[in-house]
Structure 1
Amino acid sequence: MTRALRIIASNPMSLAGLLLVLLIVAAAIFAPWVAPFPTHNTAVIDFAYANQGPSARNWMGTDLVGRDIFSRILYAYRISLGLGIVVLIIAAPVGTVVGLLAGYLGGWTESVLMRLVDVFLSIPPLVLAIAVLGVLEPTLTNAMIAVTVMWWPWYARLVYSIARSEREEGYVLAAEVIGAPTAHIAFREVLPNCLPAIITKMTLDMGFVIIIASSLSFLGLGVQPPTPDLGSMVAEGARYLPDSWWMTVFPGLAILLAVFGFNLLGDGLREVLGVDE
């Protein structure tokens, strides 16, 4: 841990990413205490302050019904980070198991599983997510399902490429010679060598999941009002540009900061864990 922190601290950009991610996570966790107007994450209406620009009272302005945009961004971070975590803790294990079995077992298992992966990868991710939500009702849960469906193949492809090269290594051949079970070799010998790449990818993917989730909400297929979501806030404010610019600019910057932070942190972890480009 000390070595990892030393490597990240030696890289100003990675350190900035770590601090930015920690700040965003802390803001999301403590939103009820940090937000100036914690009740504005609901269908609150305050027409006395409707559609006002940034001020001492409302640092990032207000929306059309008088809700504080800064407060809603903090709560929107909760939704985005929560969705990203749920998607990745489902998609990463599923894709890892598929890629590991295909890469180590080879033969017909490899052919069947990787052709299935190729089918999913042949469809543009956002299109696949929209197709799933076209069948399901646009809710937060269904948005998670849609993003998960489009995300696991990338982990399968990553782990498959690593496992396929590892199966010819000496430690794997030695385990096979002494009669170790296939499951033991795959999950106790090969999998640990895949974990650094998986962890790095999960960190980088948090930013991409936030973008996809925000894109779905922008199209009206993700989190539904009055629940605050960065994508839906951008979509709502876009109708009133350029006059009410703050309604779009600040939620858009919030997305940018989250993606930027996770990308910088992911680059730092790649160096810490020794993952090849």
Structure 2
Amino acid sequence: MQRTLYILLRNPMSMLGLLLVFIVVFSAIFADFIAPFPAHRGAVVDFANFNRAPEWPYIFGTDLVGRDIFTRIIYAFRISLMLGAVVLVIAVPIGVTIGLLAGYLGGWTEYVLMRLTDVFLSIPPLVLAMSIMGVLQPTLTNGMLAVTAMWWPWYTRLVYNITRSEKEEGYVLAAEVIGASRLHVMFREILPNCVPSILTKMTLDLGFVILIASSLSFLGLGVQPPTPDLGSMVAEGATYLPDSWWLTVFPGLAILVAVFGFNLVGDALRELLGADQ
């Protein structure tokens, strides 16, 4: 604990990252309690206050139908974090399992699995997600599936490289000599040594998943109105720049805060786990 606090406190950027992530996560969890106008997350119309510049009580202004932008950003954090968490929960086990199998078994298993991984890696992530969403109906569930389809190969490549180097280590050879099964060696001996790298990448990727999801929504292929989403909010306000600047600036800053925060925490986690190793 002392080493952890020392590593975090000596780097102000790590503390800033933790603060930003705390703000995002706290807002997402307690949105129902801290949002000033909870009803504005849905299909609400208030033409008496439409397109108002930032002022009290609308500190971030209102959109074109009078909904409070601050409230919608808070609920959009919840959607973004849920999407990112579900994508990683699905993509990480798939990528890790394929990477372990390819790296440890070798031979034709390695060749087939890694060539399949290379095919997915050769396609730009956003293009692949756009292609999938172009076929499927643009819903939150399909958005998760689209982002998941482009994310697992990165974990496959990461775990594959680690497994290739670890399987020649003494502890793996010792486990094989005493008759341990292949599954035991992969999941009980090699996998624990991959966990620090996997956790670090997951933290970094959470910000990138939010960014990709926002990009899909910006293009009209992600979460659909009236559900609040940061990307769609930026897209709706872009037409009215620079006059109604608050429609785009505040949702864009919210994306920046989330991505920047998770990147800083990922860097801190990488330094922390590297120190513990």
String of CA shifts for 1:69-106, please: whole Å, max 9, x gaps.
00000000000000000000110110000001111111
Give, as a single letter, the amino acid of the residue that structure 2 aligns with 1:50. F
Q: What secondary structure sits across from 1:274 in the alignment?
A: helix
Taking the aligned partners of 2:132 and 2:220, their CA distance within structure 1 comes to 14
Deviation for aligned residue 1:15: 1.2
Taking the aligned partners of 1:247 and 1:4, their CA distance within structure 2 comes to 40
Aligned positions, number: 275
Give, as a single letter, the amino acid of the residue that structure 2 aligns with 1:73. I
Taking the aligned partners of 1:192 and 1:11, their CA distance within structure 2 comes to 27
Taking the aligned partners of 1:89 and 1:18, their CA distance within structure 2 comes to 22
Q: What secondary structure sits across from 1:212 in the alignment?
A: helix
Taking the aligned partners of 1:37 and 1:2, their CA distance within structure 2 comes to 42
2:242 aligned with 1:246 = no
Deviation for aligned residue 1:5: 3.6
2:262 aligned with 1:262 = yes
2:206: which partner in 1? 206
2:161: which partner in 1? 161
Taking the aligned partners of 1:98 and 1:138, their CA distance within structure 2 comes to 29
Taking the aligned partners of 1:271 and 1:172, their CA distance within structure 2 comes to 26
Taking the aligned partners of 1:88 and 1:34, their CA distance within structure 2 comes to 27
- List aligned pairs for 1:50-89, cutoff 5 A: 50-89=50-89
Give, as a single letter, the amino acid of the residue that structure 2 aligns with 1:236. E
Aligned CA RMSD, in angstroms, stands at: 0.9
Give, as a single letter, the amino acid of the residue that structure 2 aligns with 1:65. V
Taking the aligned partners of 1:51 and 1:91, their CA distance within structure 2 comes to 40
Taking the aligned partners of 2:109 and 2:197, their CA distance within structure 1 comes to 23
Taking the aligned partners of 1:253 and 1:244, their CA distance within structure 2 comes to 15
Q: Which stretches of structure 1, 4 residues or longer, exceed 2 Å deviation after superposition?
A: 1-6
2:82 aligned with 1:91 = no
1:41: which partner in 2? 41
1:26: which partner in 2? 26
Taking the aligned partners of 2:205 and 2:233, their CA distance within structure 1 comes to 22
Deviation for aligned residue 1:179: 1.1
Deviation for aligned residue 1:51: 0.3
Taking the aligned partners of 2:203 and 2:2, their CA distance within structure 1 comes to 19
TM-score (norm 1): 0.98
Taking the aligned partners of 2:270 and 2:75, their CA distance within structure 1 comes to 30
Give, as a single letter, the amino acid of the residue that structure 2 aligns with 1:57. P
Deviation for aligned residue 1:2: 4.8
2:112 aligned with 1:118 = no
What percentage of aligned pairs have identical amino acids?
Answer: 73
1:108: which partner in 2? 108
1:132: which partner in 2? 132
Taking the aligned partners of 2:2 and 2:108, their CA distance within structure 1 comes to 45
String of CA shifts for 1:81-135, please: whole Å, max 9, x gaps.
0000000011011000000111111111111100000000011100100111111
Taking the aligned partners of 1:147 and 1:2, their CA distance within structure 2 comes to 38
Give, as a single letter, the amino acid of the residue that structure 2 aligns with 1:54. P
1:274: which partner in 2? 274
Taking the aligned partners of 1:65 and 1:9, their CA distance within structure 2 comes to 45
2:191 aligned with 1:180 = no
Q: What secondary structure sits across from 2:59 in the alignment?
A: coil
1:15: which partner in 2? 15
String of CA shifts for 1:140-184, please: whole Å, max 9, x gaps.
000000000000000000000000000111111111111110000
